[in-house]
Amino acid sequence: MKTIRHIAVVTALAALVLTLPAAAQNSKEIFIQNATVLTLAQQGTIQNGSIHIRDGKIVAVGRNLTAPSGAQVIDAKGQYVMPGIIDMHSHAGIDGGVNEGSISVTAQTRITDVINPDNIGLYRALAGGVTTLHLLHGSANAIGGQDAILRLKWGRSREEMLFPGAGLGIKFALGENPKRSNSAQRGRRYPNTRMGVENVLRESFTRARAYMAEWDAYNKTKSAGQDPPIPRRDLTMETLAGILKGEVRVHSHCYRSDEIAMLIRVADEFGFKVRSFEHGLEAYKVAPEIARHGGGVSTFADNWAYKLEAWDAIPYNPAILLAKGIPVAINSDSNERVRRLYQEAAKAMKYGGVSETDALKTITLYPAMMLDIDKRVGTIEVGKDADLAIFSNHPFAPASHVVMTLVEGEIFFDRAKDLEDRKKQTARRWVVDDPGYSCEDEDHDDDGGNNR
């Protein structure tokens, strides 16, 4: 009986997906007019501006543009258009567990393998103007798994959602989580201390250097015409070797300033860069060191004190870091917070006097820079992908909401269409064999986990 119920639920959800605006309203040429355009680029803010999109790319932006014949015209009079929001730290849409906590180093695992493209949290993120998610493993490991950058093309396959050519990153973690301070596994797995976490990093990269040397020697001998034995392939070491070669970005969960400084020392010793210090609540204490290293910080606006190492956070953290020239991203780490990241970013203006432009860049350009996708997204400029969020008012206005979200020039969220579809779905109940059962009786929302 339960199987029949589940089939009914899946059928109903599939019917809902078919009514979403992406497929019905996709157009190769779109013209947005009469909007206030927040380009976050050299053109600044354009009043009564227009954006011309062709085949997913921005081909013109400015005033006094004319809609081409046959284009889909979106009249955004009284509304604001900004670059699509990029969430630098997310676990949304991860199916079957976010942590592989059995061992300290899991660089061979890939978050790509467990993405569920049908997770409703992805659609809800679109409703908050989010177009790109940086999906990360949890923080159970000193060296965790490989990341994924996801474009929210709701209703498409996992492969179609992956950001093409975005490169590869990996999750590290420092502090209470990898040393298992609050885990039932404490005492069962190394490390159990902060010095143990540092040792895991040093030992792993020492092994990676030896692995690289072994393969370099093999390739040199092979190129000389000899036939040496092939070294054993190790997927974990290959990923770590990619870090040492500068081919794999490092994103590290961290809180305390002393541990941030420790990771910088280890990275400098082995010759790699930490692209982002995730959470980084005490980053303000070591801002000069982070600036010299060349890393960025992905943090919360005002979320802390949920555990001991998160105690010394201050709301001025983003402002202090930005003043030192450090790119800052305001992240969600939450399927609820991701729907209002634009409000989270606004808090940087209150705490520290960050400019409106820089505050908006904490959820657009700066995370794009940390992920090496800023040549395609993060600002509204000719030649970039048309990843856009249209708001009813300025994104920082308290009552403002997202009207429409486009990814590569396709409409994947339309508030008016969504409200219409909800009315239709509310009027329907899917009863199969149990008069007392409907799809509303079960919770099908997997929030992907929160690994703070």
Structure confidence by residue, pLDDT tens digits, 5-43: 443 433 344 444 433 444 334 458 999 999 999 999 999
* pLDDT per position as a tens digit, 37-89: 999 999 999 999 999 999 999 999 999 999 999 999 999 999 999 999 999 99
**In sequence order, which residues have a C-beta less than 8 Å from that of residue 262 and are 6 or more positions away?**
174, 198
pLDDT score of 425: 85
Query: In this model, does residue 445 exceed pLDDT 50?
Result: no
Beta bridge partners of 75: 33
* pLDDT per position as a tens digit, 282-321: 999 999 999 999 999 999 999 999 999 999 999 999 999 9
Instruction: Taking the CA atoms of 401, 407, 409 and 414 in sequence, report the sign of the dihedral they define.
Output: negative
pLDDT score of 452: 64
Angle of helix 194-223 relative to helix 257-270, nearest 10 degrees? Answer: 20
Q: For residue 338, which of 185, 82, 100, 131 has the smallest C-alpha distance? A: 131
Over range 180-205, report the average pLDDT: 88
How many CB atoms neighbour CB 23 within 10 A? 14
* Residues 410 and 82: beta-carbon distance below 8 Å: no
Query: In this model, does residue 147 exceed pLDDT 70?
Result: yes
pLDDT score of 14: 40
**Structure-token pair, residue 168:** 């590869």
Long-range contacts of 304-310 (CB under 8 A, 24+ apart): 306/452, 307/176, 307/182, 307/452, 308/176, 309/175, 309/176, 309/255, 309/256, 310/255, 310/279, 310/281, 310/452
Over range 357-371, report the average pLDDT: 98
How many CB atoms neighbour CB 201 within 10 A? 23
pLDDT score of 451: 61
* Pairing relationship of beta strands 80-83 and 388-391 according to DSSP bridges: antiparallel
Q: Which residue's entry shows tokens 């997927």?
A: 235
CA atoms of 368 and 277, how far apart (whole Å): 15
How many CB atoms neighbour CB 104 within 10 A? 24
* Residues 91 and 448: beta-carbon distance below 8 Å: yes
Q: For residue 133, which of 166, 164, 87 has the smallest C-alpha distance? A: 87
What amino acid is encoded at 219 in this protein? N
Q: Which residue's entry shows tokens 């994104």?
A: 395
pLDDT score of 427: 78
Over range 133-141, report the average pLDDT: 96
Q: Which DSSP symbol is given to 232?
A: P
Over range 373-391, report the average pLDDT: 98
CA atoms of 318 and 284, how far apart (whole Å): 8
CA atoms of 14 and 439, how far apart (whole Å): 13
Kindly tell me the burial class for residue 108, based on how many C-beta atoms sit within 10 Å of its own C-beta (0-12, 13-18, 19 or more). Answer: middle
How many CB atoms neighbour CB 247 within 10 A? 12
pLDDT score of 174: 98
What amino acid is encoded at 113 in this protein? D
Give, for 257, the enclosing helix (H) or strand (E).
Answer: helix 257-270
Which domains, ranges and CATH numbers included, belong to the chain? 2-83+400-441 (2.30.40.10), 85-377 (3.20.20.140)
pLDDT score of 412: 98
Cis previous bond, 191, omega within 30: yes
Give, for 8, the enclosing helix (H) or strand (E).
Answer: helix 2-18
Confidence of residue 379 (pLDDT cuts 50, 70, 90): very high
State the chain's mean pLDDT as an integer: 90
Query: In this model, does residue 260 exceed pLDDT 80?
Result: yes
